Structure formats: structure tokens, C-alpha cells
């Protein structure tokens, strides 16, 4: 027993000892009942009281531990033979059978059963009771039900030290498998002993991952090759690119060399459309986008630096945090940066400087997701800071549509592959929002709280019905959306395209107006004859200052000479001499001030 | 007599096979090959017993008279008796 508190008092301070003694009981007060008080009260008869007559019960809850189940097949073997008959011996079985057939019971039974059976057989042949009667009638249109989504399955990180699920990729054929990349994105805060493994899950079995992939460093992104479903591309936390073939096992098949890889975690990696199906490219926050061929993955085939001043300087480069590539536009790709700028690039440009075509800025923070609309590739969705924005390539100054500022940071977003007007976003408070802007523009059509921790990544399956989202504690949740959100509505494509066009036009008009206003401002400040010079924004300050000084001094000297000449004519010599000096000084000061007053606005 | 009955059944349109099983699951007579017979006999046996016990549990006075399993490709029909089951596999042609 540990000593919690020690109370110290000096013996001299104790005081006199208490000596207790016994004493007879004394009656101090005796109040006898006073019958007269009873007159103030009235007896109540009958009295209503509630009684309950039932068995007292208590409520208990119990939850069993999770039962580990495994699927196995059972093989049927012959059985049931009586002890004296050996099933393998053909003679014995035949003998047994013959014996049974001679049994009277048997004969009767067969006769009876035979007739029943015959009846049913004939019935079956006469009419097919399962025939489709109303085949040619068209399916009735689905009634408008409220959009909903429900969780189908949850895949938890089997490791004890939980890692964030940073990227999810669906299997290209059949979508029965999910590849999830796990890593810890907090800089240098990955706990010791954290496993580097990432998993491929089979949707049927959420208890155990189907295959574990073992990279040298945790994977930040993981993508299936759309052409070859056995090959996966992974981007590592240390900047390397790794490649797996699931037929060969869980160790890395190909790995890029550290010297030529990225210097920062690889945040985006996408397979390219090529005849060989072996080309891919990757982007990282070190500001580089590299192209690789996995057959020779030791070096990148091409490197582009994300420097928007087009000087290819790595120091100026912006860190890339998301990558976008649409196979229908194979020469273009887009990079979302940490600084909130989207850079649109052309792969086929001759000089590296021309690779960067244009930039779109509008976000206050890193752009975590970037995707073109699968139906209208000119419009793309970006997700970053607290909003999601939709842009049009034609409108470079600002986005054409945007959501309001949310309470939580947005972490990922994706378009629905089936409906052009629907997109999904995930937030740091664990909610998944489904937006349908032909239905409602200011709020999401459906907002679901998937889990308590932050959701970090999102991926929609090609059919548009299933969504997988990964959370900070490594839990991947599989949700199914209601059919209303995953089937193309009537006229939706036209409506969506008209919305995009309308918003683009609005932005263009606003842009034009802004430009006009800016021009007017400049015109007013610089004076009327400088209207033509509005384009030159870069002003040579030094030159201006020198010019101003020259003008200043020349004007002063002119003034001085003028005053001197006037003074000489008007006043007598002596006065002139003294007053000249005073006048000159005064006027110098005065004219200086005047001149200064004129010069300042320029 | 028995042979005639079974022949008659076999000659009906779409009938693929006939098996006679006893309560222990031993195929007594069959028109199909051995391995198929064994498999069907074993699988059906459990199913028939289960169906029968289900019917009787709901109403002890009741008993199973006939069992049909209609699948995409075939139809399995079972006529149960106290000691024997008659199983017929038919492919209903439309």
C-alpha cells in the first residue's frame, strides 16, 4: 500500500486527551401528540394509488466475439451401405440391390410413386409455369426516390499500428478487388515498427486481405494497370516507383533507383495509354513530373519541372500533389499543386518551356483531387482547401462553379462515371458528400457520415454504384449508392452540358468586365496620351526616377533664370542683389515645392 | 412391372434420368452413370429429409408428398415414400 498523504502534528499540540464516560439517558424534550391538530385534517377515503404487478426484469446486452469464418468445399463420398456390404465390391452391391428389388414393398412403392411422378412430368411438359409473359412491355420508369447510400462492407487494416489509407484503386476487370495503399503521411511521425505493407482485398472476404504487397517504403499511391490486371504501380513515401505482378508474389517486381527517383513522396501515379501498356508517369511534391517505362524502371524516360515561370528551375517549382490524365486526350495532362494552382501541360511540346501551357489558380491550399468530367473533358473538378471547384479550360481566371466553404477540409473528390452531373467529395470530419448539380447547386444531394475519423481518399467503381473510401485509421468502407444516383437520368447530358456552358459564359463576361475596369483605372492614372501603353505592366522604376530628377532640375533652373531676368528688369541693383538672393532662395524653395507637387503623382 | 413403370417414365419428353434411393441414401436403381448417381443420391437424400422434417414440424399431421426443385437448366422432382425415394431429373423443353 502506498502512502498517499502524510499529516504531521507535534505531540505538544495535541491537547488534552479525550476521556469518554458513560451516562444515563436523559429525556430532554417530550412532545405528546395533540388530538386537536387532527381536526385540521380530513380523512381521505378512498385513496388512489398505482401499483404495478409484473415480473421485474432487467435488460442485458451481449455481443459475441467476431466469429472467424472460412469457406470450404465438402466432397461427397458414398455411404449408407449396411455393415455387411462393402461399397467397393461390385458383386456385393449388385447382390444387395437385387435383394431390395425383390422386396414387395419396393414394388408397390415404385408403382405408386411412378404414377405421381408421371403426372408431374406431363404437367411440366404441357406448360412452362415460369415463362415470361410480359416480356415485350417496357420497364416502368423508376419512381423518384430519395437518394441514399448504404455501407456494404468495411475493410479494416489488419495491422496493430493503424495507418492511413491514402489511395484506393479498383481492379479493372469485374471490379471484385480493391487495392489499398497504406502509409503515414504525417511528416516523420510514422511510429516505429509501422508495417510498410499495402493490401489487395477481395470484396467477398473483408476479414483478411487477399494479397499483401511489400514495398521498401510505405506506398502513398497504388494503381492497377487498366490493360493488364495483374500489374500494379505504386508510388512510395521515399519517392521511388515500384511495380508488382500479382502472379509473381508480393515482393516488388521492379523498383526505380533512388538517385533518379523523386525526392519527396510520390503523390500521383497514373498509367498511360500506350501500345505496350507499360508506360506510366508520376508526380511528387519535389516539383517534378517523371515518365517511366516499367520495363526499364531504373531511370525515368522524361522529367518535367513544374516551374510556372517556364525557366525549368527546381527552386521555383511548385510541389505537385495530384495528377490527372484522361485517355481521350492523350497529349495533355494536368497537375494540381500544393500552392493551389492547377497547371495544364502538353506532353508533346518541343521545348521543355512550352510543356506548361497554362495555369489556373483559385484554391487557397493544396489541390488534393483533380479530375476531368468523363463526359465533358473540357470541364474538370478540383478539390482543395474547404471547397470543391469546377473549371472550364476556356475560363482561366477563375472557376466556373464552386461549392460553399465547408466546416471541414476537403480531402478527395471524384466524378461519377455514369452521371455527368454527379460528383463525390470526402471531408476531414469523416463525411462523404454526393453532389448532383442538376438537382441542387448549393448543397450536396446527400451527405453521409461514414466514420468518425477523417476520410482521406475516395474511388468510384466504373459502374457508378459502388464507392470505396479510405480513412485515417486505415478503414476502407464500401458504400452502395441508390439507383437514382447511379443511373443516367433523362436528358441529363444535355442539361449538364448547358449548365457548364452557361457558367463558362458567365465567367467570360465577368472576366471581360474586370479587364475593362482595370484598363479604365490605368487610363485615368497615367493620363490621356498613355492609354495605348496599358499592356506594359513591367515598369522600369530606376529609369523613371532618373527621368523625374532630370525634369525636376531642368524646370527649377528654367524658373530660376526666369525669375532672375524679371528681377533684374524691375528692381534697383542693390536691392536686386540682396533680394535676388532672398527671392531666389524663397522662390527656389517655393518653386521646388511647386515642382515637387507636380511631380509626385507620376 | 417395376421395369415397365420406369421405362414409361424414362420415355417421357425431357426426362434425363431416374434414380431410386432408399432411406439410407443407397441408390437402388438408376438410369444414369455411377458417379452422377452417387452424387445426386447423396445430395438429394439430405435435402429430402430436411424438407420432410420441415413440413412435419410445422404441422405434425402433414407429410411431404412431392418435392420439385426448379433450376435454370433442369428440374429435379422427388416423390418420397416411407422407405424409398424416386428422383427424376427433367429438362423441361419449351
Nearest CA to B2 out of A467, A103, A526, A166 is that of: A103
pTM: 0.58
Nearest CA to A320 out of A329, A301, A333 is that of: A333
Contact A476, A168 (CB under 8 A): yes
Q: Would you mind telling me the total number of residues written for chain A in this entry?
A: 602
Kindly indicate the confidence band of residue A590, based on its pLDDT and cuts at 50, 70 and 90.
very low
Contact A453, A430 (CB under 8 A): yes
Note the pLDDT of residue A227.
Answer: 83
At residue A361, φ and ψ (nearest 5 deg) are: -120, 145
Cell numbers at A601, concatenated? 503623382
Q: Where are the domains of chain A?
A: 149-486, 490-568
Judge whether B72 is closer than 8 Å to chain A, CB to CB.
no
Interface probe, candidates B20, B70, B76, chain A, greatest A C-beta count within 10 A: B20
Contact A337, A319 (CB under 8 A): yes
The label of the residue with cell 403426372 reads A119
pLDDT(A135) > 80: no
Looking at the partner chain, which of A100, A116, A131 has a beta carbon nearest the beta carbon of B22? A100
Cα(A500)–Cα(A508) distance, integer angstroms: 12
Which residues does chain A have within 8 Å of residue B82's beta carbon, measured at their own beta carbons?
109
User: How many C-beta neighbours within 10 Å does residue A411 have?
Assistant: 22
Nearest CA to A451 out of A186, A208, A155, A197 is that of: A155
pLDDT in tens, A107-124: 888 888 888 888 888 888
Distance from the Cα of A215 to chain B's closest Cα (Å) equals 47
Which residues does chain B have within 8 Å of residue A73's beta carbon, measured at their own beta carbons?
none
| Architecture in CATH of A149-486 | 7 Propeller (2.130)
- Interface contact flag, B86 A80, Cβ < 8 Å: no
Between residues A142 and A600, the one the model is more confident about:
A142
User: What mean pLDDT value characterizes chain A?
Assistant: 81
Alpha helix ranges (H) inside A267-405:
none
* Minimum mean pLDDT range among A12-21, A57-66, A128-137, A509-518: A128-137
Cα(A457)–Cα(A185) distance, integer angstroms: 13
Question: CB burial class (10 A; 0-12, 13-18, 19+) of residue A224?
Answer: buried
pLDDT in tens, B23-62: 877 888 888 888 888 888 888 888 888 898 899 999 888 8
Looking at the partner chain, which of B2, B12, B84 has a beta carbon nearest the beta carbon of A121? B12
Nearest CA to A459 out of A544, A371, A528, A397 is that of: A371
Interface probe, candidates B24, B75, B88, B89, chain A, greatest A C-beta count within 10 A: B88
Looking at the partner chain, which of A96, A106, A124 has a beta carbon nearest the beta carbon of B90? A124
Between residues A574 and A60, the one the model is more confident about:
A60
> What value of ipTM does the predicted structure carry?
0.76
Cα(A388)–Cα(A382) distance, integer angstroms: 6
Cell numbers at A543, concatenated? 529609369
pLDDT in tens, A447-481: 888 888 889 888 888 888 889 999 888 889 998 88
Kindly indicate the confidence band of residue A533, based on its pLDDT and cuts at 50, 70 and 90.
low
Cα(A293)–Cα(A296) distance, integer angstroms: 6
pLDDT in tens, A302-353: 888 877 776 667 777 788 888 888 777 778 888 888 888 888 888 777 776 6
**Average of per-residue pLDDT across A78-105:** 76
Distance from the Cα of A131 to chain B's closest Cα (Å) equals 9
Q: Which residues pair with A224 in a beta bridge?
A: A232
Amino acid at each position: 500500500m502506498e502512502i498517499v498523504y502524510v499529516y504531521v502534528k507535534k505531540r505538544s499540540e495535541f491537547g488534552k486527551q479525550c476521556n469518554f464516560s458513560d451516562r444515563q439517558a436523559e429525556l430532554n424534550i417530550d412532545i405528546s401528540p395533540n388530538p386537536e391538530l387532527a381536526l385540521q385534517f380530513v380523512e381521505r377515503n378512498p385513496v388512489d394509488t398505482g401499483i404495478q404487478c409484473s415480473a421485474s426484469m432487467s435488460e442485458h446486452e451481449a455481443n459475441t466475439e467476431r466469429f472467424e469464418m472460412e469457406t470450404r468445399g465438402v466432397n461427397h463420398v458414398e455411404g449408407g451401405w449396411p455393415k455387411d456390404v462393402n461399397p467397393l465390391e461390385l458383386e456385393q452391391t449388385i447382390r444387395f440391390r437385387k435383394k431390395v428389388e425383390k422386396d414387395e414393398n419396393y414394388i408397390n412403392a415404385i408403382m405408386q410413386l411412378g404414377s405421381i411422378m408421371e403426372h408431374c412430368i406431363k404437367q411440366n411438359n404441357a406448360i412452362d409455369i415460369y415463362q415470361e409473359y410480359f416480356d415485350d412491355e417496357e420497364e416502368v420508369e423508376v419512381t423518384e426516390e430519395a437518394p441514399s447510400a448504404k455501407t456494404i462492407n468495411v475493410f479494416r487494416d489488419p495491422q496493430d499500428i493503424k495507418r492511413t489509407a491514402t489511395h484506393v484503386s479498383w481492379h479493372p476487370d469485374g471490379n471484385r478487388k480493391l487495392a489499398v495503399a497504406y502509409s503515414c503521411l504525417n511528416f516523420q511521425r510514422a511510429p516505429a515498427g509501422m508495417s510498410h505493407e499495402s493490401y489487395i482485398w477481395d470484396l467477398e472476404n473483408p476479414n483478411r486481405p487477399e494479397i499483401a504487397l511489400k514495398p521498401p517504403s510505405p506506398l502513398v499511391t497504388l494503381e492497377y494497370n487498366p490493360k493488364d490486371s495483374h500489374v500494379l504501380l505504386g508510388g512510395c513515401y521515399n519517392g521511388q516507383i515500384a511495380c508488382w505482378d500479382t502472379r509473381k508474389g508480393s515482393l516488388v517486381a521492379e523498383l526505380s533507383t533512388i538517385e533518379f527517383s523523386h525526392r519527396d513522396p510520390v503523390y500521383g501515379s497514373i498509367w498511360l495509354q500506350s501500345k505496350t501498356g507499360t508506360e506510366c508517369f508520376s508526380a511528387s511534391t519535389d516539383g517534378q513530373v517523371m515518365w517511366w517505362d516499367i520495363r526499364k524502371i531504373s531511370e525515368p524516360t522524361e522529367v518535367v519541372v513544374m516551374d510556372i515561370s517556364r525557366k525549368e528551375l527546381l527552386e521555383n517549382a511548385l510541389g505537385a500533389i495530384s495528377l490527372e490524365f484522361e485517355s481521350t486526350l492523350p497529349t495533355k495532362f494536368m497537375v494540381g499543386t500544393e500552392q493551389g494552382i492547377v497547371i495544364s501541360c502538353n506532353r508533346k511540346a518541343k521545348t521543355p518551356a512550352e510543356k506548361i501551357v497554362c495555369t489556373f489558380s483559385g484554391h487557397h491550399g493544396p489541390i488534393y483531387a483533380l479530375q476531368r468530367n468523363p463526359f465533358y473533358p473540357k470541364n474538370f473538378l478540383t478539390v482543395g482547401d474547404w471547397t470543391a471547384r469546377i473549371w472550364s479550360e476556356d475560363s482561366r481566371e477563375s472557376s466556373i462553379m464552386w461549392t460553399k466553404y465547408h466546416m471541414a477540409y476537403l480531402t478527395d473528390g471524384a466524378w461519377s462515371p455514369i452521371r455527368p452531373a454527379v460528383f463525390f467529395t470526402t471531408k476531414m470530419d469523416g463525411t462523404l458528400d454526393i453532389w448532383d448539380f442538376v438537382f441542387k447547386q448549393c448543397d450536396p444531394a446527400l451527405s453521409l457520415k461514414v466514420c468518425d475519423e477523417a476520410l482521406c481518399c475516395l474511388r468510384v467503381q466504373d459502374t457508378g454504384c459502388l464507392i470505396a473510401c479510405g480513412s485515417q485509421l486505415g478503414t476502407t468502407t464500401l458504400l452502395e449508392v441508390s439507383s437514382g444516383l447511379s443511373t443516367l437520368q433523362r436528358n441529363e447530358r444535355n442539361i449538364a452540358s448547358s449548365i457548364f456552358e452557361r457558367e463558362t459564359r458567365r465567367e467570360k463576361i465577368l472576366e471581360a468586365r474586370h479587364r475593362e475596369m482595370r484598363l479604365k483605372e490605368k487610363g485615368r492614372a497615367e493620363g490621356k496620351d498613355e492609354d495605348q501603353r496599358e499592356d506594359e505592366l513591367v515598369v522600369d522604376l530606376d529609369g523613371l526616377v532618373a527621368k523625374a530628377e532630370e525634369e525636376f532640375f531642368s524646370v527649377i533652373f528654367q524658373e530660376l533664370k526666369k525669375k532672375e531676368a524679371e528681377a533684374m528688369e524691375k528692381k534697383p541693383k542693390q536691392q536686386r542683389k540682396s533680394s535676388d538672393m532672398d527671392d531666389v532662395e524663397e522662390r527656389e524653395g517655393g518653386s521646388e515645392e511647386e515642382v515637387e507637387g507636380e511631380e509626385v503623382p507620376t | 412391372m417395376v421395369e415397365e413403370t420406369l421405362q414409361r417414365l424414362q420415355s417421357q419428353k425431357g426426362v434425363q434420368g431416374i434414380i431410386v434411393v432408399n432411406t439410407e441414401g443407397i441408390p437402388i436403381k438408376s438410369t444414369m452413370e455411377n458417379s452422377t448417381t452417387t452424387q445426386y443420391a447423396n445430395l438429394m437424400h439430405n435435402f429430402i429429409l430436411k424438407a420432410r422434417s420441415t413440413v412435419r414440424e410445422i404441422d405434425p399431421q402433414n407429410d411431404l408428398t412431392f418435392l420439385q426443385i426448379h433450376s435454370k437448366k433442369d428440374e429435379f422432382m422427388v416423390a418420397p415414400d416411407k422407405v424409398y425415394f424416386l428422383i427424376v431429373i427433367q429438362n423441361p423443353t419449351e
